Amino acid sequence: MRTAIISDIHANLAALQTVLAHIDEQSVDRIICLGDIVGYGPDPVECVDLVAKRCEWSLMGNHDFGVLYEPTNFNAAAEQAAYWTRAQFERDRTSQPDAAMRRWEFLGRLRVRVNHEGFLCVHGTPRRPINEYLFPEDATNSPVKMQQVFDRIERHCLVGHTHVPGIFTDEPDFYPPDELGAVYTLSVEEKAIVNPGSVGQPRDLDPRASYAIIDAPSEEPGRVEFYRLEYDVKSTVDKILAIPQLSDWLGERLYEGR
Ligand code: ZN
């Protein structure tokens, strides 16, 4: 079974389309999404429709939660983007009431935690599934946090939220894809947490869209393949710059991958 893992799309349609086209060439059996379909970016409605159509399921990220309920712990730019995003979903209420209702229902049904064939899947961390970050530096700086996070995992776990791809092992250690040669073999003896990175807003100083595939033959934990793809960053940045409610900085950061 080959499962494509996408996360943190952030309403970046150009990046999502590029990733989905690449996935279509990798003979995967299904696509799952770890949340943050919307927030920050210019195409929230289109991205929700595409995830609803192409993904087997998606998790609820803090930005999906912020648009659906209320933005909490957001900086000013993120909060304003959340209110603008909500208005985009409201916009179609009179012109396309069925589509508008379907989108709200889709967002409302997103789950916070899914157990998927031996993988615990959360947007943030197993302790605080929507909002807590598991940063690469936690592996060296926060041994208690790492211990508490790994205590909640039976074997393997998938997370998003930081927008930084890589693998945490329970030594604890963190390995970016570059150090792994872009492929990592999971083992039944070792706990591991996999972050596929972000489709629409990478923050590891590499602006290319990021995702991962887990290739798991039956009865084996399998291996993780990391992918980076160039996409038309400028088209997304130009859309953000043209929307007054989206801070210019949300566009400019895409060029830098931060
Ligand atoms: Zn995110």
One-letter-per-residue 3-state SS of 86-135:
HHHHHHCCCCCHHHHHHHHHHHHHCECEEEECCEEEECCCCCCCCCCCCC
pLDDT(221) > 90: no
User: How much is the pLDDT for 29?
Assistant: 96
- State which H helix or E strand residue 79 sits in: helix 76-91
User: How much is the pLDDT for 95?
Assistant: 83
Question: The whole model's pTM is what?
Answer: 0.96
Q: How confident is the model at residue 92 (pLDDT cuts 50, 70, 90)?
A: confident
Alpha carbon of 222 to ligand 1 centroid (Å): 26
CA distances from 70 to 63, 73, 92, 153 (A): 9, 10, 20, 29
Q: How confident is the model at residue 154 (pLDDT cuts 50, 70, 90)?
A: very high
pLDDT by residue (tens digit) across 160-190? 999 999 999 999 999 999 999 889 999 888 9
Which residue in this structure is represented by tokens 């400019």? 252
Q: How confident is the model at residue 71 (pLDDT cuts 50, 70, 90)?
A: confident
Which residue type is seen at 106?
A: F
Q: What is the CATH number of the domain that holds 160?
A: 3.60.21.10
pLDDT(216) > 80: yes
Alpha carbon of 202 to ligand 1 centroid (Å): 9
Under 8 Å between Cβ of 129 and 122: yes
> How many domains does one find in the chain?
1
Q: How confident is the model at residue 205 (pLDDT cuts 50, 70, 90)?
A: very high
pLDDT by residue (tens digit) across 37-61? 999 999 999 999 999 999 999 999 9
User: How much is the pLDDT for 156?
Assistant: 95
pLDDT by residue (tens digit) across 123-147? 999 999 999 999 999 999 999 999 9
The Cα–Cα gap between 107 and 59 comes to 9
Domain extent for 23: 2-255
Residue 153 phi/psi, 5-degree rounding, is -115, 130
Alpha carbon of 78 to ligand 1 centroid (Å): 11
Alpha carbon of 171 to ligand 1 centroid (Å): 26
Alpha carbon of 258 to ligand 1 centroid (Å): 12
Alpha carbon of 42 to ligand 1 centroid (Å): 14
Closest Cα to residue 5, out of 196, 166, 168?
196
Give 174's Cβ-side CA count (13 Å radius): 16
Alpha carbon of 248 to ligand 1 centroid (Å): 18
